[in-house]
Amino acid sequence: MRTIALEEHFVSRSFLDRAGFGLGEQDAVNVQSSAVTDLGDIRIKAMDESGIDMQVISHVWPTFDPVPADIQVQIAIGANNQAAQAITTHPSRFAGFAALPMLDATTAADELSRAVNELGFLGALINGRADERFLDHPSLFPVLQRAADLQVPIYLHPGLPNETLRRELYDGFGPEVTYTIGTAAWGWHAETGLHAIRLMAARVFDRLPDLRIILGHMGEMIPFMLERCDEWLTPAARREGLQRSVAETFRHHFWVTTSGMFSLPPFLLLHEVLGAERILFSVDYPFSSNAQGRNFLDSLPISPADIEKISHQNAEELLRLPAVT
């Protein structure tokens, strides 16, 4: 069975050369470690050991270490060029989601076009807000418009909370607990779910019917809340012009991956809410284990046909990857 993993990260030379290091003191993998910087033999060996056939690689963008817009552009171009070289060297093992310099939406949209049309990338991955702006902000519409025009998805990924949010929402504990509540234990998942809800409430998908969004981590809490959100938000948003219900919009425009969450109850809920056709396998390498992700996939109590969809068929269809027989 072919396995395609969609949320698999690296850190580029262009970032390490121009910005600060580290995702935070408590992060599981330092950004200078070979697990996250390598796009060759080390990564492929780790994939082979756990039966991962292809990674869609994406850059760990420095939302935690803001840099000026012109430096963001240099980092993004360098990261995309480095990823493209790895994809060219190992075309059966790697594909790519582009890094975008989101401080300048026009430049970001143009870099997305370059990445897709010249480098062969399959979409983009965006880490959280852009200078405190959610993607529904009018200034960022060119990026969404370009993705829709190119018919490639945007992977909406968490970003680290800024210092104001840390103080207001997560402070009052030791540094490790404060950091963890604000990130992988709760905070950045809740914010990413909110990010997706805002896109729906802002009627972005009414304006861009071809826009497709991928969420990781079993849907960033939305599957659990979808019925209640639909009950309360849909009537309010329809009074402001929303054409389709929140639930209908979510089921039509969103795909969800298993990245970093290998627990059966949230998966069964996701499978019930969205169906196997909208679920994509992911690991969140190197911040999660390839072996853990593959073992979880192999143990799912669903039909072999559904496992095939999640493992590779849905990714092949969404990303227009050739099927491998």
> 258-280 pLDDT, tens per residue?
999 999 999 999 999 999 999 99
Kindly report, residue by residue over 147-175, the tens digit of the pLDDT.
999 999 999 999 988 888 889 999 999 99
Greater pLDDT, 22 or 225: 225
**Is the pLDDT confidence value at 21 over 90?**
no
Please state the pTM of the whole predicted model: 0.95
What 3-state DSSP class applies to 264? Answer: helix
DSSP letter assigned to residue 322: P
Give one DSSP letter per residue of 194-229, joined into a string.
HHHHHHHHTTHHHH-TT--EEE-GGGTTHHHHHHHH
Greater pLDDT, 80 or 26: 80
pLDDT value at residue 18: 73
Mean pLDDT taken over the chain: 93
**Is the pLDDT confidence value at 285 over 60?**
yes
CATH: 3.40.50.2300, 3.40.50.720, 3.40.605.10, 3.20.20.140. Which one for 4-319?
3.20.20.140
Instruction: Name, in order, each residue with C-beta under 8 angstroms of 147's C-beta and a sequence gap of 6 or more.
Output: 112, 123, 124, 153, 154, 211, 212
Kindly report, residue by residue over 207-248, the tens digit of the pLDDT.
999 999 999 999 999 999 999 999 999 999 999 999 999 999
Q: Alpha-carbon distance 103 to 259, whole Å?
A: 26
Residue 281's pLDDT band, with cuts at 50, 70 and 90, is very high
**Is the pLDDT confidence value at 294 over 50?**
yes
**Is the pLDDT confidence value at 188 over 60?**
yes
pLDDT value at residue 323: 86
Q: Alpha-carbon distance 132 to 143, whole Å?
A: 16
Residue 32's pLDDT band, with cuts at 50, 70 and 90, is low
Percent share of the chain, pLDDT over 90: 84
| Per-residue b or e along 62-86, where b marks 16 or more CB atoms closer than 10 Å to that residue's CB | bbbeebeeebbbbbbbbbbebbbeb
Kindly report, residue by residue over 104-131, the tens digit of the pLDDT.
999 999 999 999 999 999 999 999 999 8
Say if residue 51 is exposed, middle or buried (CB neighbours under 10 Å; 0-12, 13-18, 19+). Answer: middle
> Facing residues of 8 across strands?
57
